[in-house]
């Protein structure tokens, strides 16, 4: 659908959508627009329209997707014409202390994070009783979309994605932040092989979070990707938990499936804690297996920190690229 043919939603339309709580994760977002000079009449008209919109200052254009507690719209900043992804908390969760606190924490965190491999927060607040986060609008799709379609990825591409996410995690590590939900659905694959990490709903600051305030979820995330310490319900998890989840994501990319799956989530968590992951069946180089082993080790002390993993991946990818070039010759 072209932007010229999109009709903006009114408050009634948006509230109707917000009454439902779809289970699908929100997809990646697209686009951008250049603003043009405006005269006084245009500015007055925009100010009037801005007040009429569900979120003051944003023209809601289309629904993009939804998650368990929030829905994402394509929207336009009326002041500068910038296209954004507008994430709104379902009104039914405003009275839920945990959900509201997570949404507020995510908004405040994204507003101050600045890294090329993290989806940027642009605006955050409350408008007409609705909590919202405005996010940058990028060309791309979630890694999960490709995996659900049966795609498998090469060793070089998989570790290339891992490198960019590891760079984002190294940045989070330097800010004492743990993401806690690294998985394909939260990784956006964009044009020119760029990658961005998104969805900080479960993220927390390990040096500030009050884990006794009733908001901190001891076990959260997606069971197929969570670390053993998350599955055990440990409260002192750190960034190495995210490294484990990234390793599981790499295995999914390489093989087309996760190491552990079951209809019973408790069984999956048991496997995450006790069952060894067989890396020998994965069709990659021995060096690649060694790196994966340092990512998905059951004991977190044996895993690489992001700041150490980044240079390891850079060196590995450089050597792998040279080797592939020699083979082609």
Give dist(CA 19, CA 40) in Å, integer: 38
> By the 8 A CB rule, do 130 and 88 touch?
yes
CA-to-CA dists, residue 65 to 24, 45, 233, angstroms:
7, 30, 30
Give dist(CA 250, CA 316) in Å, integer: 15
Three-state secondary structure call for residue 40? helix
Active-site residue identified among 144, 181, 199, 242 = 181
DSSP 134-185: EEE--SEEEHHHHHHTT----HHHHHHHHHHHHHHHHHHHHTTEE----SGG
Tell me how crowded residue 305 is: count the other CB atoms within 10 A of its CB.
16
> By the 8 A CB rule, do 33 and 76 touch?
yes
181 an active-site residue? yes
Give dist(CA 263, CA 220) in Å, integer: 17
3-class DSSP string for 195-246: EEECCCCCCEECCCCCCCCCCCCCCCCCCCCCCHHHHHCCCCCCHHHHHHHH
Q: Which two tokens stand for residue 252?
A: 């999914």
Give dist(CA 47, CA 33) in Å, integer: 19
Residue 269 phi/psi, 5-degree rounding, is -65, -35
- Output the CA torsion sign for 283, 144, 123, 214: negative
- Give the residue numbers annotated as catalytic, written as ranges: 181
């Amino acid at each position: 659908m072209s932007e010229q043919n999109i009709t903006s939603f009114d408050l009634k339309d948006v509230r109707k959508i917000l009454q439902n709580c779809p289970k699908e994760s929100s997809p990646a977002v697209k686009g951008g627009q250049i603003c043009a000079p405006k005269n006084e009449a245009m500015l007055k008209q925009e100010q009037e329209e801005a007040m009429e919109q569900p979120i003051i200052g944003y023209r809601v254009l289309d629904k993009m997707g939804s998650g368990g507690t929030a829905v994402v719209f394509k929207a336009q900043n009326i002041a500068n014409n910038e296209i954004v992804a507008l994430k709104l908390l379902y009104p039914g969760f405003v009275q839920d202390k945990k959900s509201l606190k997570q949404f507020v924490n995510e908004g405040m965190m994204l507003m101050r994070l600045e890294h090329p491999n993290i989806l940027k927060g642009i605006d955050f607040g409350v408008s007409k009783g609705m909590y919202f986060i405005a996010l940058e609008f990028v060309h791309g799709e979630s890694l999960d979309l490709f995996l659900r379609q049966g795609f498998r990825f090469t060793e070089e591409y998989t570790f290339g994605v891992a490198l960019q996410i590891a760079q984002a995690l190294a940045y989070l590590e330097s800010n004492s932040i743990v993401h806690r939900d690294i998985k394909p659905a939260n990784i956006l694959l964009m044009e020119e092989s760029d990658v961005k990490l998104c969805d900080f709903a479960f993220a927390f600051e390990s040096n500030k979070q009050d884990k006794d305030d009733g908001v901190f979820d001891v076990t959260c995330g997606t069971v197929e990707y969570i670390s053993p310490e998350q599955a055990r319900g440990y409260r002192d998890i750190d960034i190495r938990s995210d490294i484990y989840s990234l390793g599981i994501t790499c295995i999914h990319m390489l093989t087309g499936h996760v190491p552990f799956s079951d209809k019973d989530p408790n069984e999956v968590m048991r496997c995450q804690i006790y069952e060894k992951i067989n890396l020998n069946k994965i069709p990659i180089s021995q060096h690649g297996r060694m790196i994966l082993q340092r990512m998905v080790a059951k004991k977190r002390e044996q895993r690489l920190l992001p700041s150490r993993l980044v240079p390891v991946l850079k060196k590995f990818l450089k050597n792998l690229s040279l080797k592939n070039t020699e083979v082609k010759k």
